């Protein structure tokens, strides 16, 4: 059960004045299981990379986490809120999300019954609050997630996010989030600097002197999402824009300069005996929030055996990507649920590789059985592949298999 603690009882652990209207809740998810994962990449029929995992796994249905969330009633229907959430690896106990203390989520804000919720800090973009819910797997269950083809265009966890979510207007709601991360650093280490070769490839080189080399990085974005969820019908849509630019004082051209855009539409309809899930989306001039799913795994596998000056990269201006999903979910008894989805995707960038294309297909089947309000067991089977081809006859293919059974407990 969730542990709700009066702030008055935690006065020694939390600074400030305690009020009876304030509370802090300790919560979390522990998820682990046994499974089989295999991913391999072949180019021209020759295996270039392969990975395989058999045995204990963690965070399959949901990422493992623990957190604290609190609220204080300020009167007139308004409350101050905060949430601090930490991710961890169940297999080894180590922190996840780059090792930060509360890297899954760290927010503070205000909420009101009549005007909505305003938060700032590390959190998901607004699209996650609406579009992700259309996925029959809820963007969980590892490879079965819509992220395998939609990437992070349906929602991404980012730093320095300012977000507003509207109240529920008879099933209708909307949200807006802004990301502003601008940094400027000086490289005072005169033995290491960022340089570019004749092909424009940038790398960090030692033994060169560039005193006070200035590196400027901008990562700004906006996410606008809306949805309707009332009765059997659920509809959601989002538009995301991300501008990433990195410049170095001694380089004539930016190291990175992208203006990625994405939009998605989703619809779900509950026929009582079965629920239909449909999603479609496109991305332009780069993958929003940097994730490209299985297509990106294929590119990474090919690049692992290429030189620094011969890397493949679709994630650039000129990118054209589309993804789609069709799925079904159905209740089984009082506490069971079966889920199925087919995903497809297509990626090209004619400005970089005029005749190259990547096509992705993923089929997933899952089942979840509730044992209590807080504990459930589940099973997952998913198979997918990404295939790259050029008019020149070049062919490459990634195959990915994911099978698992597991147990989830919430507290």
Residue-wise DSSP of 249-284: TT-SS-SEEEEEEEEEEEEEEE-SS-EEEEEEEEEE
Q: What pLDDT does residue 256 have? A: 79
Q: What pLDDT does residue 369 have? A: 98
**CA pair distance 47, 279, nearest whole angstrom:** 33
**CA pair distance 343, 328, nearest whole angstrom:** 12
Span 3-410: which CATH code? Answer: 2.40.160.10
Q: What pLDDT does residue 255 have? A: 74
Q: What angle do CA 197, 201, 203 make, to 5 degrees?
A: 85
**CA pair distance 237, 253, nearest whole angstrom:** 36
Q: Among 35, 137, 143, which residue's Cα sits nearest to residue 91?
A: 35
Q: How far is CA 264 from CA 20, 177, 281, 284, in A?
A: 44, 16, 4, 12
Q: How far is CA 173 from CA 77, 130, 153, 239, 279, in A?
A: 19, 9, 19, 15, 19
Identify whether the C-beta of residue 78 lies closer than 8 Å to the C-beta of residue 110: yes
Q: Among 297, 355, 285, 353, which residue's Cα sits nearest to residue 321?
A: 285
**pLDDT tens-place values along the chain, 411 residues long:** 445 444 334 444 444 444 447 899 999 999 999 999 999 999 999 999 999 999 999 999 999 999 999 999 999 999 999 999 999 999 999 999 887 899 999 999 999 999 999 999 999 999 999 999 999 999 899 999 999 999 999 999 999 999 999 999 999 999 999 998 777 776 655 555 555 554 455 556 555 555 567 888 888 999 999 999 999 999 999 999 999 888 887 777 777 788 999 999 999 999 999 999 999 999 999 999 888 899 988 888 887 766 555 566 788 889 999 999 999 999 999 999 999 999 999 999 988 888 889 999 999 999 999 999 999 999 999 999 999 998 888 899 999 999 999 999 999
Q: What angle do CA 132, 136, 141 make, to 5 degrees?
A: 85
What tokens were used for 296?
């990106």
């Amino acid at each position: 059960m969730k542990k709700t603690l009066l702030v008055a009882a935690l006065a020694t652990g939390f600074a400030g004045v305690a009020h009876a209207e304030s509370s802090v809740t300790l919560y979390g998810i522990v998820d682990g299981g046994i499974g089989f994962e295999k991913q391999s990449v072949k180019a021209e029929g020759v295996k270039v990379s392969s990975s395989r995992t058999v045995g204990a796994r963690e965070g399959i249905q949901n990422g493992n986490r623990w957190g604290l969330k609190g609220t204080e009633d300020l009167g007139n229907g308004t409350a101050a809120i905060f949430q601090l959430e930490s991710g961890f690896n169940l297999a080894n106990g180590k922190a996840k999300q780059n090792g930060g203390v509360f890297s899954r989520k760290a927010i503070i804000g205000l909420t009101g019954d009549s005007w909505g919720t305003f938060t700032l800090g590390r959190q998901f973009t607004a699209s996650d609050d609406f579009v992700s819910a259309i996925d029959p797997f809820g963007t969980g269950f590892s490879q079965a997630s819509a992220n395998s083809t939609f990437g992070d265009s349906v929602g991404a966890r980012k730093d320095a996010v300012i977000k507003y979510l509207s109240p529920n207007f008879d099933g209708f709601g909307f949200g807006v989030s802004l990301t502003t991360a601008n940094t400027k650093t000086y490289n005072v280490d005169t033995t290491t600097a960022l340089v570019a070769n004749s092909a424009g490839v940038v790398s960090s080189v030692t033994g060169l002197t560039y005193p006070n080399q200035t590196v400027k990085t901008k990562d700004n974005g906006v996410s606008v999402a809306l949805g309707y969820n009332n009765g059997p019908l659920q509809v959601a849509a989002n538009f995301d824009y991300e501008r990433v630019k990195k410049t170095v004082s001694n380089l004539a051209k930016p190291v990175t300069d992208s203006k990625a855009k994405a939009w998605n539409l989703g619809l779900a309809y509950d026929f009582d005996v079965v629920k239909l899930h449909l999603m479609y989306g496109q991305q332009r001039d780069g993958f929003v929030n940097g994730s490209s799913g299985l297509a990106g795994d294929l590119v990474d596998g090919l690049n692992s055996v290429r030189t620094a000056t011969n890397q493949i990269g679709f994630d650039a201006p000129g990118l054209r990507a589309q993804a789609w999903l069709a799925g079904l979910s159905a209740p089984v008894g009082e506490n069971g649920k079966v889920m199925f989805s087919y995903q497809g995707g297509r990626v090209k960038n004619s400005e970089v590789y005029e005749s190259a294309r990547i096509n992705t297909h993923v089929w997933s089947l899952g089942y979840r059985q509730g044992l209590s309000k807080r504990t459930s067991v589940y099973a997952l089977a998913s198979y997918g592949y990404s295939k790259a081809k050029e008019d020149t006859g070049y062919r490459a293919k990634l195959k990915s298999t994911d099978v698992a059974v597991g147990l989830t407990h919430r507290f």
